Amino acid sequence: MKTAFIFPGQGSQSVGMGKDLFDNFAAAREAFEQADEALGFSLSEMCFSGSEEDLALTANTQPAILTTSVAAYRSMIANGFAKPDLVAGHSLGEYSALVAAGVLDFADAVRAVRKRGTYMQEAVPIGAGAMAAILGADLATIEQACDDASEGKVCSPANINSPSQVVIAGDADAVDRACEILKERGAKRAVKLNVSAPFHCALMMPAQERLAEDLSGLAYGEFGCPIVHNVDAAVNSDAGLVCERLTRQVSSPVKWMQSVQEMVKNGVATMVEVGTGKVLSGLVRQIDRDVRCLNVENSESLKNTLDTL
């Protein structure tokens, strides 16, 4: 039975994240120090004791979550964890997964996601776009409602998180219309999200085009273990495909439910969420209750997970 390491994305951040790892593990300290050097400012200070407002800015959130995840992963390996059979990450988390797999250099990844966050934030004027979580409606119903609500604007599934949770994104008025339609068609809830931009939809094409140039200039190493990509929920161990997958990811829906199902199909029975929070563990339980979910976000959870494994 195989083990996969899964890495969280934006939304899992909180002030203080990574501090316990930094205090207890040399490998974690090194990761934060490398990130500070790569960015030219103290990301570690922002993570440990900064303001929630600063940490919530997309250009800060993305390198902060990446660094905390890599710090956790390096601490795990330094303390005797076996390397995973597969890796995957939710949106931004795919960069953490690629660092763990040995494909992306960590400093390159930190700088890339800092730019990614900036480009995504700047792609759409504040307030022009929106995202909403749809609970208790199937994907086909949601897709049809988005089509019916679009009226020439953008509205589409952005995060296919679980059988009971799909996030939609697009122009704010189209997302509002889709929410009303879905309530009429039996969705349990349609909740607008407090986000700074409508991620993973066609409105992100300007960001995708800007990021494509940066990603094409990076070096991609060989895979230490395969990844399941967001855009196609397919297993990949060809480094030559990574740039295109990461580029397309910016405006494409995150197929998280299908990615988890693909990992299970490939023999994964245990998934370890590496980084801050337990958002992905909760989604995995909604997708397949037979999968054992563990997590590592601090020294205590690292010890408990290592003991369990």
Both tokens of 247, joined, read 């580029």
* pTM of the predicted protein model: 0.96
Pick the closest to residue 167 from 186, 147, 189, 150 (CA basis): 189
**Side chain identity at residue 261, one-letter code:** Q
**Active-site residue 90, yes or no?**
no
Instruction: Tell me whether residue 91 is one of the annotated catalytic residues.
Output: yes
pLDDT tens readout for residues 244-300: 999 999 999 999 999 999 999 999 999 999 999 999 999 999 999 999 999 999 999
Tens-place pLDDT, residues 23-50 = 999 999 999 999 999 999 999 999 999 9
pLDDT of residue 216: 97
Q: For residues 210 and 217, what is the distance between their CA atoms, to the nearest angstrom?
A: 12
69-73 mean pLDDT: 98
DSSP per residue, 17-49: TTHHHHHH-HHHHHHHHHHHHHHTS-HHHHHHH
Beta strands in 42-193 (DSSP E): 86-89, 129-135, 155-162, 165-171, 189-192
Encode pLDDT of 218-259 as tens digits.
999 999 999 999 999 999 999 999 999 999 999 999 999 999
Above pLDDT 70, what percent of the chain? 100
Catalytic site residue from 12, 196, 200, 301: 200
Structural contact between residues 117 and 59, judged by C-beta atoms closer than 8 angstroms = yes
User: How far is residue 260's CA from residue 93's CA, in Å, rounded to a whole number?
Assistant: 14
Element (H, E) at 284: helix 279-287
User: Bridge partners of 296?
Assistant: 274
pLDDT in tens, 74-120: 999 999 999 999 999 999 999 999 999 999 999 999 999 999 999 99
Say how far apart CA 21 and CA 28 lie, in whole Å.
6
What is the enclosing helix (H) or strand (E) of 94?
helix 93-100
- How far, in Å, CA of 64 to CA of 43, rounded? 7
For residue range 108-163, what is the model confidence (pLDDT) as tens digits? 999 999 999 999 999 999 889 999 999 999 999 999 999 999 999 999 999 999 99
In terms of Cα–Cα distance, which of 240, 282, 278, 237 is closest to 260?
282
* Residue of 69, 75, 91, 162 marked active site: 91
pLDDT in tens, 167-209: 999 999 999 999 999 999 999 999 999 888 999 999 999 999 9
Cα–Cα distances (Å) from 62 to 35, 149, 202, in that order, read: 12, 31, 20
Q: What is the pLDDT of residue 126?
A: 87
Provide the 10 A C-beta neighbour count for residue 41: 11
Q: Report yes or no: 95 and 113 within 8 Å, Cβ to Cβ.
A: yes
Between vectors from CA 32 to CA 109 and to CA 301, what angle results, nearest 5°?
Answer: 100
